[in-house]
Amino acid sequence: MRNKQVILRDCVSGFPKETDMSIVESTLTLKLPEGSNEVLLKNLYFSCDPYMLFLMTNVEPGSVSYALPLSKPLIGFGVAKVLESEHKDYKKGDLIWGLTKLEEYSLVPSTQIQFKIEHTDVPLSYYTGILGMPGMTAYAGFFELGSPKKGENVFVSAASGAVGQLVGQFAKLTGCYVVGSAGSKDKVDLLKNKLGFDEAFNYKEEPDLNATLKRYFPEGIDIYFDNVGGKTLDAVLLNMRVHGRIPVCGMISQYNLAQPEGVTNLTNLMSKRVRMQGFVWSDFYHLYPKFLEFLLPHIREGKVVYVEDIAEGLENGPAAFVGLFSGRNVGKQVLVVARE
Amino acid sequence: MRNKQVILRDCVSGFPKETDMSIVESTLTLKLPEGSNEVLLKNLYFSCDPYMLFLMTNVEPGSVSYALPLSKPLIGFGVAKVLESEHKDYKKGDLIWGLTKLEEYSLVPSTQIQFKIEHTDVPLSYYTGILGMPGMTAYAGFFELGSPKKGENVFVSAASGAVGQLVGQFAKLTGCYVVGSAGSKDKVDLLKNKLGFDEAFNYKEEPDLNATLKRYFPEGIDIYFDNVGGKTLDAVLLNMRVHGRIPVCGMISQYNLAQPEGVTNLTNLMSKRVRMQGFVWSDFYHLYPKFLEFLLPHIREGKVVYVEDIAEGLENGPAAFVGLFSGRNVGKQVLVVARE
């Protein structure tokens, strides 16, 4: 079977470029090795996420990370349909989400499947976003690490992104005051008019982030949900309240830098007794059923909305991925590989 | 009554100097206002601690800190004897530890007294150190924030200091592997030969801290008890293990800098899911009885030791305090105001 793929052509250094990837066609055998526990997937929706970059750069000596081999398809989360299965839990026609590859068809070990999709009255693409890894990331980071209380002050960076837009809505559901930062007027409008943030600002138009935060948070910040790191984090540290929490979800501002920016205000962790904690959603894997139970009714009732930026077709995969790092996407970046 | 004092002459900028303070004599009335809840103390042992600097520098606009007025005596923790009391819990002759002033006699509100001293079979000076604020800091930071488990790898900076020497011994009691850094050969010897650290090194002789840490922790660090911040913290971040913890107790390397050093490796918080948390001992005030119950038997049996650097007389107060910032003290810096 012919299989179109987006492969890694060159290791990325600095900002990823479309030319770091290329589109090729390979072939795939439909027959699975018996007893292999493997599953053949038809990929439907692919999730373009910043962390994918970690697999595409040269691995530093001593790093725990691992690199994608050159000429192999990109790896990431996606929604797929099972075509063939050698694992008893999955059968032909099942819909799943999990780690797959950026190609039309993927042969994957069944262990890479995260969950079978049981609820299809919501858009299937949601399982790459609000109901997938980014959704769980927002949920675990905000509720488990952020320990929010009604009336607290919440700040979210990259607030219109796949994770940020949910953190803001979860904060409003909890009765918090929430302010988001983003990188364009359109995104700021989205935050205020569609996503229910109390306030939002375009960080590119704020020459003094410390002053900006003092304006929006005269009493300080209880929870900063960090998606960007760097200068924003540094300004936030000056504005945290005593016993504040900083779930560290991402530091996208630092990923392309040869030398990361220095964060200079960490003594505030001490004086304000702040808890700053990195996490990944999979540490909270066991909460997925509880998460669905919480979120599905809110989605069905329209109380939580989700903005997707949908690119069509594998050919547009490299551009969709690269766009994440210039903030071109508005909302969760999804790539449609096939509609069904 | 004549009362010798160490007062703040000038606001400190950069490194504190002895000339920022001066020794003066004032007078004090012995009679307490009736119903005032005040207590008149004869100061015995005074605790010289780095945090005192925060009260001696100019307050930045927007800071939650507060400054000591010029010409007033320095404030800090100490052991004292009650001479007169207008509070029912304290009577003449009681020994207490709490916030007092660097002078012979102090009139303080009873709320500044932390605890009455019940156990006097150990040196009284211990209530400025191992059984006082630094001891509780080590205990709360290591056990409550560090969540240590047997067999884990622990790194402590400023390891021979008032807090660090206890963290190392608590780590050994827990069955951890523990390495300390300090700033002289004498201190390193102390760590290895008297305080039971598995390994210790002089950070001033290590040009590449990252390489040093990789040598002592080939499998990485589970708990970093941070007393210094800056470059050491930055190197540690490269060497943390997944789910590591960093209790942030102090960042003494940064206190004298006009512009703090930038910490560049914070993305490791994320990739290693590290929890980094500032704290102060008083958030764990309620644990003091449990702490005494744990530590007193260890002290009596010689299973936990404590190294003090004792300066004699108020006149030597400024030098003792200033010495903290060049690392001149070996062990906990105590100043004897009066022996009884």
Q: What is the pLDDT of residue B68?
A: 82
The answer on pLDDT for A62 being more than 60 is no
Residues of A in contact with B253 (CB under 8 A): none
Per run of 10 residues, the mean pLDDT along chain B (length 340 residues) is 93 90 91 87 96 80 62 94 94 96 95 94 97 97 98 97 97 98 97 98 97 98 97 97 97 84 94 96 95 98 97 97 94 96
Cα distance from N-terminal residue to C-terminal residue, chain A: 17
Contact B151, B171 (CB under 8 A): no
Q: Checking DSSP bridges between strand A113-116 and strand A95-101, what pairing results, if any?
A: antiparallel
User: Whole-angstrom Cα distance, residue B236 to residue B294?
Assistant: 30
Other CB atoms closer than 10 Å to residue A177's CB: what's the count? 19
pLDDT at A69: 82
Q: Quick one: closest CA in B to A254, which residue? A: B267
Instruction: Please give the C-alpha separations between residue B310 and each of A87, B128, B333, in angstroms, as whole numbers.
Output: 71, 11, 6
Question: Which of B270, B274, B280 shows the shortest C-beta gap to A273?
Answer: B280
What DSSP string runs through B267-318? HHHHHTT-EEEE--GGGGGGGHHHHHHHHHHHHHTTSS---EEEEESGGGHH
Residue in A with minimal Cα distance to B283: A273
pLDDT of residue A239: 98
- Residue A25 near residue A2, CB atoms below 8 Å: yes
Q: Whole-angstrom Cα distance, residue A159 to residue B232?
A: 33
For B255, the 3-state DSSP assignment is: coil
- Identify the pLDDT of residue A60: 58
> In chain A, what percentage of residues exceed pLDDT 90?
85
Q: What confidence score (pLDDT) does residue B57 get?
A: 83
| Inter-chain touch A274–B278, beta carbons under 8 Å | yes
Q: Where are the alpha helices (DSSP H) in chain A?
A: 133-139, 164-173, 185-193, 209-216, 230-237, 267-271, 288-300, 317-323
Give the residues across from A81 on adjacent strands.
A42, A95
Rounded to a whole number, what is the distance in Å from the CA of B32 to chain A's nearest CA? 35
Inter-chain CB proximity B261 and A262 less than 8 Å:
yes
Handedness of CA B267, A62, B227, B206 (dihedral sign): negative
Q: What is the pLDDT of residue B30?
A: 76
Q: Kindly list the residues from chain B whose CB atom is less than 8 angstroms away from the CB atom of residue A214.
A: 62
A167 in Cβ contact with A247 (< 8 Å): no
Whether the CA torsion A42, A128, A232, B241 is positive or negative: it is negative
* Record: contact B264-A259, CB cut-off 8 A: yes
Confirm if A146 and A115 have CB atoms less than 8 A apart. Answer: no
Identify the pLDDT of residue A110. Answer: 93
> What residues of A are in contact with residue B254 (Cβ under 8 Å)?
266-267
Residue range A316-332: mean pLDDT, rounded? 95
Which SS3 state, helix, strand or coil, does residue A194 take?
coil
The 3-class secondary structure across A86-150, one letter per residue, is: CCCCCCCCCEEEEEEECECEEEEEHHHEEEECCCCCCCHHHHHCCCCHHHHHHHHHHHHHCCCCC
Is the pLDDT reported for residue A254 higher than 90? no
Q: Say if CB B233 and CB A266 are below 8 A apart.
A: yes
The single residue listed with the structure tokens 């800091």 is B137
Residue A32 confidence (pLDDT): 85
Give the chain B residue nearest A267 (alpha carbons): B251
A54 and B254 in contact by Cβ < 8 A? no
Instruction: Provide the residue type at B147 as one letter.
Output: S
User: A76: part of which helix (H) or strand (E)?
Assistant: strand A75-85
The ipTM of this complex is: 0.90
Bridge-based pairing of strands A275-278 and B275-278 is antiparallel
Distance of CA B21 to the CA centre of its chain: 21
On the CB side of B103, how many CA atoms lie within 13 Å of its CA? 27
Which alpha helices (H) appear in chain B, and where do they start and end? 133-139, 164-173, 185-193, 209-216, 230-237, 267-271, 288-300, 317-323
Residue A339 has pLDDT above 80, yes or no: yes
CB contact under 8 A, B270 and A251: yes
Q: Please list every residue in chain A whose beta carbon sits closer than 8 Å to the beta carbon of residue B249.
A: 270
Interface test with A, best of B270, B283, B284 (most A CBs within 10 A): B270
In the chain, the amino acid numbered A81 is K
Q: What are the residues of chain A with a beta carbon less than 8 Å away from any beta carbon of chain B?
A: 54, 62, 64-65, 214, 229, 233, 238, 242, 248-251, 254-255, 259-280, 283
How confident is the model at residue A258, as a pLDDT?
A: 79
Which has the closest alpha carbon to A46: A331, A323, A312?
A312
Candidates A172, A167, A157, A203; CA nearest to A306 is A167
Using a CB-CB cut-off of 8 Å, the residues of chain A touching B238 are 62
> What is the number of residues in chain B?
340
Q: Note whether B276 contacts A262, CB cutoff 8 Å.
A: no
CB contacts of A267 in chain B (<8 Å) are 229, 251, 254-255, 260
Question: Exposed, middle or buried: residue B338 (CB in 10 Å: 0-12, 13-18, 19+)?
Answer: middle
Distance between CA atoms of B145 and A274, rounded to whole angstroms? 12
Q: Give residue B93's region: left, alpha or beta (phi > 0; psi -120 to 50).
A: left
Dist. CA B83–CA A58, nearest whole Å: 70
Angle, helices B209-216 vs B230-237, to 10°: value is 50
Nearest by CB to B275, from A263, A264, A275: name it.
A275
- Provide φ and ψ at B17, rounded to 5°: -120, 155
Nearest to B270 among A260, A262, A278 (CB): A278
pTM: 0.92
Whether pLDDT at A135 is above 60: yes
Integer Cα distance of A140 and A146 in angstroms? 8
**In terms of Cα–Cα distance, which of A94, A91, A178, A141 is closest to A291?**
A141
C-alpha distances in Å from residue A152, one per residue of A278, A320, B67:
21, 35, 29
3 state DSSP class of A70? coil
